[in-house]
Structure 1
Amino acid sequence: MTGQINRSNLRPVFFIPSISLLASLGVFSSSLEAQAHHPFGGQTPSNILEGFLSGLGHPVVGIDHLVFVIAIGLMAAILRQGLWAPLAFVTTALLGAGIHLQSWDLPAPEFFISASVFLMGGLLALKQSPHPWLASGLAGFAGLFHGYAYGEAIVGAEMTPLVSYLVGFSVIQLVIAALAYRCGRALNSASSEQSTLPLRFAGFAIAGMGLAFLSTVLLG
């Protein structure tokens, strides 16, 4: 009937402005100081609750981390066996945090974090979906550097808040990736020709944010 509204056609309409807003926030936040990545202002968690809350907050207040987790969740939605990507990321993020806690150095972590946002957004923007192992490999490699950055907030903590911190940032990343995955799957349930457009647009927006992060790292 003429008066009926096709809900599947409305999904991109509401999704695209949301992604545009996310991109604007990313450009704005790229100018913030690194201290914004620490939920407790750089103070080391001293108990199990503080450790867990800090772990929950770090991937959220750090917009570069948040955008990458959203990107791999959306990527998982368009790939066969795509859930390996967020799982690889969370696993290697734990390893990266362990590297930091062992006082080992990774080269240029902020550069690689920003580059990972740009590259994952670029892969998501492609008309042809990338190979699942390419996406998972990038997610796993990026996880080392994201996790290394996460480790900064917990250096010097006792074992109990340290473990709860690791649990917290693993849980929140899996939850965010799962929500992004569900969003992507919902969009893909629309017509096969048009359903890829919102996710590709999201990829372009995410790649643009990664470029903004990179410019901040390179230009200071």
Structure 2
Amino acid sequence: MFRLALLALVLSASPALAHHPLDGLPMQTFGQGLLSGVGHPILGLDHLFFVAVAGIAAHVARAPLIGVLGYVLSMLAGCMIVASGAAFPLQEAVIALSLLVVGGLLALGRVPTPRVLIALLAGFGLFHGAAFSDGIAGQEGGASLPVLLGYLAGLAVTQAAIACIAGALTARATRMAAQLTGAMAGGVGLYLMLDMAEGVLVRALIGA
């Protein structure tokens, strides 16, 4: 049952990795910001996989709540930092690396101690949050306070729910199912890293 749920998750996720739930329409209200915040973690396959394995790894490390909370708070901080005008270099590369590292540790059955895992999830959370800031960066004149608050609330609630549900499912599944999930997430991370490396190589060859 657990594996069927994972398969459905993969098949329902967008292969484009980044979409806007409002189709790029401007956000003007708290509700529109909330809807956008709810949709971004679900429509982005890289973020969806990471938050799921983050919740599973936190459960395996016996720190289900503090692990998820550490990631979510750090993710919100990263989003606000970039929304305020700062920049995070190598954003997409670190996001791909986060999938490879956390997914790989889970697949190998080598989840670190709670303290180390929380630091790892929080560090990667900054970069995932930085990527989520793109959802409000295109707002003409900047996002209003109600839109920003709605967006952050949607991000926090959705990702916390996904992580906690993934962790709870792990409690009812076999160890192999958790490792399989980690392997799938690690595979996504490896694919993204290879795709980025290919792009860099092609640009170097054509002198772009």
Q: TM class by shorter-chain length? A: 0.7 to 0.9
State the alpha-carbon separation in 2 of the partners of residues 78 and 214 from structure 1. 26
**What residue ranges of structure 2 are gaps of 5+ in the alignment?**
200-208
Q: Is the 8 A contact 1:19 1:205 kept in 2?
A: no
Q: Of the two, which has the highest radius of gyration?
A: 1
Comparing 196-205 with 112-121, greater Cα deviation is found at 196-205
Q: State the Cα RMSD in Å.
A: 2.0
Paired residues in the alignment total 195
Match of 1:85 among 61, 67, 73: 67
State the alpha-carbon separation in 2 of the partners of residues 62 and 136 from structure 1. 23
Is 1:101 the counterpart of 2:88? The answer is no
Match of 2:44 in 1: 62
Match of 2:203 in 1: none
Residue deviations 1:134-184 (CA, integer Å, cap 9, x gap) = 221111011111101111111311111111111111011111111111101
**How do 1:29-178 and structure 2 match up within 5 A?**
29=15, 32=16, 36-155=18-137, 156-178=142-164
Match of 2:3 among 16, 20, 28: 16
| SS state at 2:152 partner | helix
Q: Structure 2-normalised TM-score?
A: 0.85
- Identity %, equivalent residues: 33
Comparing 175-184 with 130-139, greater Cα deviation is found at 130-139
Cα separation, partners in 2 of 1:54 and 1:218, compared to 1, 3 Å? same
Cα separation, partners in 2 of 1:23 and 1:209, compared to 1, 3 Å? farther
Residue deviations 1:84-124 (CA, integer Å, cap 9, x gap) = 22111110111111111111111111111111011110111
**What residue ranges of structure 1 are gaps of 5+ in the alignment?**
1-13, 188-194
Instruction: State the shift of 1:45 in Å.
Output: 1.3
Q: Is the 8 A contact 2:111 2:117 kept in 1?
A: no
